[in-house]
Amino acid sequence: MSDYAAPILYAVVIWWFLTGAILWLNHRPRRTHAWSFGATTVALFGALWVIAWSATQESEAGAYAAFTAALIVWGWQEMAFYMGYVAGPRRTPGIPTDRGLARFGAAAATNLWHEAAIILGFAAIAWLTAGGPNRMALWTYLVLWGMNLSARLNLFLGVRNLHAEFLPEHLRYLGSFFRRAPMNALFPVAMILATGFLLVLLHPAVTESASAFKRSGHTMMATLMALAILEHGFLMLPLPSAALWGWGLPARRPGADAAP
């Protein structure tokens, strides 16, 4: 078990720290965002270089490097969106009377450029890792993308806990597209699929012939998937998820998690 403890702990700590750091930076005064985003953009190019380098490294160090670099690329995507630099053509609240496709189209317009940037990020990582023995950066990015998309769709369809306190002030309009509901049809399907993919990711790490490269890399990716499943659970279960990143969030205002 000691062979698995280090990658599990590493994945949990870096997930917790990067999430909290991004929340803290996003909730800082707007005048600080240009500096924060500029520094993160420099880190983005460094991460892409590491991904290109690690693609040729079928080693434990290469697995850690690829995993970490993919998280940094994803962190740039999240900061670009939540700081409002790469969001979408719509930046106004939804119309309460909108239903069905009209509501979905309005919600999609709030993050259209963000989704396009995510696709470009995927294409860049796929190109940088093409033909290499280490494509863990690509799979890590796909885990983050898939579970992020699932969370967005579940918030749109309806969940118990909206967690609107995670939204910075300039993105409060996004809360108008969230819906509070005890359950939605997508949630159990998403959880079953995510659990199945978790097992697929974990399998190469637990076989007797697993190398240190596969054991560490697949354990970290499986841990990340487990954490994403946990985050989905926060949407439905009465758990104080915001307490995990209290240091990255401003003092909560009355009614901060309210939504139509």
Per-residue model confidence as pLDDT tens digits over 183-232: 999 999 999 999 999 999 999 999 888 899 999 999 999 999 999 999 99
Burial of residue 251, with CB atoms counted within 10 A of its CB: 0-12 exposed, 13-18 middle, 19 or more buried: exposed
* pTM confidence score: 0.92
The pLDDT-based confidence of 248 (bands split at 50, 70, 90) is confident
Instruction: Work out the end-to-end distance of the chain between its first and last CA atoms, rounded to an integer number of angstroms.
Output: 47
Backbone phi and psi for residue 159, each to the nearest 5 degrees, phi listed first? -135, 170
Mean pLDDT lowest among 104-113, 194-203, 246-255: 246-255
Percent of the chain with pLDDT strictly greater than 90: 78
CB atoms near residue 13 (< 10 Å)? 10
The per-residue pLDDT for 247 is 74
Cα–Cα distance, 157 to 101 (Å, whole number)? 12
Q: What is the sign of the dihedral through the CA atoms of 66, 75, 32 and 45?
A: positive
Structure tokens at 146: 């898939």
Cα–Cα distance, 60 to 68 (Å, whole number)? 12
For residues 73 and 125, is the Cβ–Cβ distance under 8 A? Answer: yes
pLDDT in tens, 35-91: 999 999 999 999 999 999 999 999 999 999 999 999 999 999 999 999 999 999 999
